Chains A and B, each alone.
Chain A
């Protein structure tokens, strides 16, 4: 690996968390020393642990509870080039009333759209939007040249500020994987800090920042662990696995390793960081495995929308089918849920 030594002593943005943890030395070299000093991941052990957690059997009342929990943790997502205001409206309708046949079905946590669809989502949500009370449905927008992140910093910041100004409650940003893989951790760090600042609203509050690591492009568990630390140090409120546009997207071992970072951070500072696996989670069975992994790694207190989310679209229909099966006692079919 070639490292640009000219940048080595370059100062990086003095984010509060980094100042505390790196001990006042916020240079690229200090950051690199810290990240590369993190012990490597035992890949076999990690995969074995994830596989063991996936064998847990969740049945009857626990399953019913798990299904409702999953729905309340979903970021219902549409991120297609072909998105229209009408598509966003139908997505919002589904977010508000997931199962029209059963009004007791919980609502999802948020809808996740491209930045230019935020006004359409807000308008469609109306009073169901999470206001100051925070008990409604939030609007999340992807920003920073999603999904590739290949744009200059001013463009990324404008993209973010635009979505925040339009009223997005949460911003899902992508890190610059190219810079990360080239070893320019400081550049990635600075970008996250700058985007966090762009999330600031005129009244001084911040839109929630989710940092997408795109683990499918990071290649190793060691990189995932480093990127997780990096994102948290730079001020991310959530760390998110994937854009959903790259395969492999979220996997259980990757999510487990990110949860371990979050657990370590909590032990270190007492601060709670959220985790969002996204992409590739299509069945209730898979989603329940994630719930088990969260509960066993960071604790059940993480199983609420402020700290854990599923980025998914087709998952909701499968959960609804399972929910109908649990309630009626017979198998349901795709004719009994809406077509997305």
Chain B
């Protein structure tokens, strides 16, 4: 019996749902050799706006969850991602034109990075926070808190690993994320969104836009309700202009990085999206 090929339609991921682009636009995604794979949505500025609204709405719940709970949720993503290993390997092989062995290595590395970041949720505060010595009978405690809504232009050269490496760190401390996926290799990002939608991540904590970073990033950079901007994958855009636009509303900004190891795992990437709160408390009531 012959089987009818069913090409998948890849949609956006906003607020825990998979809407088409408000604009109705799509882009054809092709293999390295030029064969058609699927249509993916091409997000517009209004999709970016909706994603920011969803991220803002999800912030209090995610930032308010206990660090232990966030760690469990992030670890669960790694579990589900590993369970769909085969699908991701196929997609990466098709899209990037690499060998199955290299694709498998990329998926494994992505899983490892989720696990690594999941472990940090209830530990980074001990490293970055402090009990400050003060001249008086007071506790003076500094603790890192999430910055808020973080817009991320993910690394463009790798489809899955770049996405995971850029999206996971802001989630650790309780930020919510609007991610602009790789323009050339958007499919694994949306497949990962399917993993997120079926894991325990609350809707709106991660929002994924596929389309042109050059078109979307300026709207996110100038958006007054976005608190931080990670330009790690924006090296090919006018990123200086993005930084200038972001400065208008005092965002935290990370600069572009080039190469295969863009957004390599580090504690600094977690701490880049935190704000330090310092509180005084008297010792005498003890």
Chain A interface residues (CB < 8 Å from chain B): 324, 329-336
Contact = CB atoms under 8 A, between A and B. Distances in A.
B191 to A, nearest CB: 29
Interface string B116-148: 000000000000000000000000000000000
A102 to B, nearest CB: 14
Interface residues of B, number: 11
Contacts of B245: 330
B225 A335 contact: yes
25 contacts: A324-B224, A329-B222, A330-B219, A330-B222, A330-B223, A330-B224, A330-B248, A331-B49, A331-B52, A331-B219, A331-B222, A331-B223, A331-B224, A331-B225, A332-B224, A332-B225, A333-B223, A333-B224, A333-B225, A333-B226, A334-B56, A334-B225, A335-B224, A335-B225, A336-B224
A329 B52 CA distance: 16
Chain A's interface: helix, strand, loop or mixed, by majority? Answer: loop
Contacts of B49: 331
Contacts of B225: 331-335
A329 B245 CA distance: 12
A324 B226 CA distance: 16
Nearest to B45: A331
Interface string B211-241: 0000000010011111000000000000000
A197 B34 CA distance: 81
Chain B's interface: helix, strand, loop or mixed, by majority? Answer: helix
A334 B224 CA distance: 8
A213 to B, nearest CB: 33
A336 B248 CA distance: 13
A334 B52 CA distance: 12
Contacts of A330: 219, 222-224, 245, 248
A26 to B, nearest CB: 54
Contacts of A334: 56, 225
Interface string B230-260: 0000000000000001001000000000000
Nearest to A336: B224
Contacts of B223: 330-331, 333
Contacts of A336: 224
Nearest to A331: B223
B55 to A, nearest CB: 11
A3 B197 CA distance: 57
Listed residue (B56, B223, B226, B248) with the most chain A CB atoms within 10 angstroms of its CB: B223
A335 B248 CA distance: 14
A324 B245 CA distance: 16
B97 to A, nearest CB: 38
A189 to B, nearest CB: 46
